[in-house]
Chains A and B, each alone.
Chain A
């Protein structure tokens, strides 16, 4: 019986031998833009992104923000449109905080950017902490629908959320610069917020572990100049705690690692993470795939093709040579899932997805010699 796309991916992550390199492709940036601008190739007008990827012969990866939805208790939450922004106010007994989001799905991105963060000044500490302590996660039924739609054609990429607890505080709640200013000036307050976020994310992890999800995304969007200084303090303990539970449940953990990673790679083994997804080598970052391999023999690398290799300024010959070079560099090819770092760009030719599939058939049979 032929192995399905999903099974090939799961087998690689489990360390089993498979026939050829899996290719888990991600095209939502390209798809969202062209669907919104009615500029999808004629053949694909009206198709879903998973159908298009399947037609190109690859496994699909479809993003779903979190396996949980958040419900807010003992506070009033008011959402209003202030175009182009969506503003959400959290009115608590301790005061009010608001977050302003910019959605630009029609231009490609699949998620909102925080135009104004929830935390803006030291006076916001007790309010944000209250919000976190009174947020209750519940299972998101939409995930089940996405999973059924996907079937054996690929993986719905999700988990407790896109970001782990410390990354949520750093990136989503405060923003990196304000975080580091607070870390310098009020470290004990930062720790309190981290702990409150950790407690919320623990509840989400419990929900994820009880669900049928096989690979649980734990974090995303690192850059080694930003995250390395606090990785051991804030990230490693959470990963070790989460992975102990995830592995006990015979599931796998994953992080989305599409940034500059060189100085974070030595910290990976202690984190016990199973899959580093969207790994992005040079020329888009400074790292080579050989360096990524040093994350650990147990880590499955999912990625290897920087988004910019799909740009039209890279010729077809240059593209082919890059892919062949990737396979050669990664031989014998175990614990590798070919993928994008991290997406198909708007200007790309979708047929390069199919070209990767052809090159795998020719050069990506395992073991690669």
Chain B
């Protein structure tokens, strides 16, 4: 048994090259898969904090996400149900007429990395589709991303659609994106706003506790 400190360090450093082997070593020496996952996710949380404070950049996050993905590939056969999402379920997408997906993908990477199950609807998602997917997946949280002033009002359109279809009370809504501010997100009816991927992790954890 070990404390997986080597694995955690590799995730934080984004050193993916030996992560698969190190994960297998941990399994072979008897560390419980749940413990390995928990430690890996802790590493990803540290990456999120470093991203939020400006110490880390997109490629740092991508390297760490690659570590998580490679480690999970090794863990999949030994984890019951093959699922790593325990913290809660998030449906996420970029709103209608907005093709930008990098911010949404960063948030998705962090949320998955720390243990959320994330259903990514992609970009240019209509309010009808958001409502359908909330109905289908029953998520704890709906994440709405917008990168343009021309599309940010669509956040309010989606929330209105959730109200019309009786889904609003069942899901917490978090919004973000370049032109979106806390004031604007709340004025559109969102429950929360996140400035970046690292902050999204903290806020989604809080939202899950509230729901």
Chain A interface residues toward B at CB < 8 A: 29, 33, 102, 104, 107-109, 113, 115, 176-177, 180-181, 183-184, 224-226, 228-229, 259-260, 262-263, 283-286, 306-308, 311, 313, 343, 345-347
Contact = CB atoms under 8 A, between A and B. Distances in A.
Nearest to B149: A345
Nearest to A115: B99
Contacts of A102: 99
Contacts of B183: 283, 313
A100 to B, nearest CB: 11
A286 B52 CA distance: 12
Given A225-B57, A259-B178, A313 B150 contact: no
B57 A228 contact: yes
B62 A181 contact: yes
A308 B149 contact: yes
A183 B60 CA distance: 12
Interface in B131-151: 148-150
B161 interface: no
B76 to A, nearest CB: 21
B153 interface: yes
Contacts of B57: 224-226, 228-229, 263
A6 B183 CA distance: 37
A181 B62 CA distance: 8
B181 interface: yes
B181 A184 contact: no
Interface in B21-54: 51, 54
A115 B178 CA distance: 20
B1 interface: no
A308 B181 contact: yes
A5 B196 CA distance: 39
A176 B58 contact: yes
17 contacts: A102-B99, A104-B97, A107-B97, A108-B150, A180-B59, A181-B62, A184-B62, A184-B63, A225-B51, A226-B57, A263-B57, A308-B179, A308-B184, A313-B187, A343-B149, A345-B149, A346-B150
B126 interface: no
Contacts of B97: 104, 107
A41 B181 CA distance: 28
Nearest to A29: B150
Contacts of A224: 57
B99 A307 contact: no
Contacts of B54: 262-263
Interface residues of B, number: 26
Interface string B90-108: 0000000101101001000
A33 B153 CA distance: 14
Contacts of A259: 178
B149 A307 contact: yes
A181 B100 CA distance: 18
B58 A180 contact: yes
A229 B181 contact: no
Q: Which 10 A-B pairs have CB atoms at the shortest separation, nearest pair first?
A: A345-B149, A108-B150, A113-B99, A180-B59, A307-B149, A226-B58, A229-B57, A225-B57, A225-B58, A283-B181
A104 B154 CA distance: 16
A61 B149 CA distance: 19
A284 B179 contact: yes
A189 to B, nearest CB: 17
B180 to A, nearest CB: 9
Given A229-B57, A307-B179, A313-B187, 8 more contacts: A102-B99, A108-B150, A113-B100, A177-B102, A177-B105, A184-B62, A345-B150, A346-B149
Contacts of B100: 113
A109 B102 contact: no
Nearest to B182: A283
A33 B187 CA distance: 23
A352 to B, nearest CB: 14
B101 to A, nearest CB: 9
A106 to B, nearest CB: 10
Nearest to A183: B59
B178 A284 contact: yes
Contacts of B196: 225
Contacts of A229: 57-60
Nearest to A341: B179
A184 B184 contact: no
A343 B148 CA distance: 10
A286 B99 CA distance: 23
A368 B183 CA distance: 31
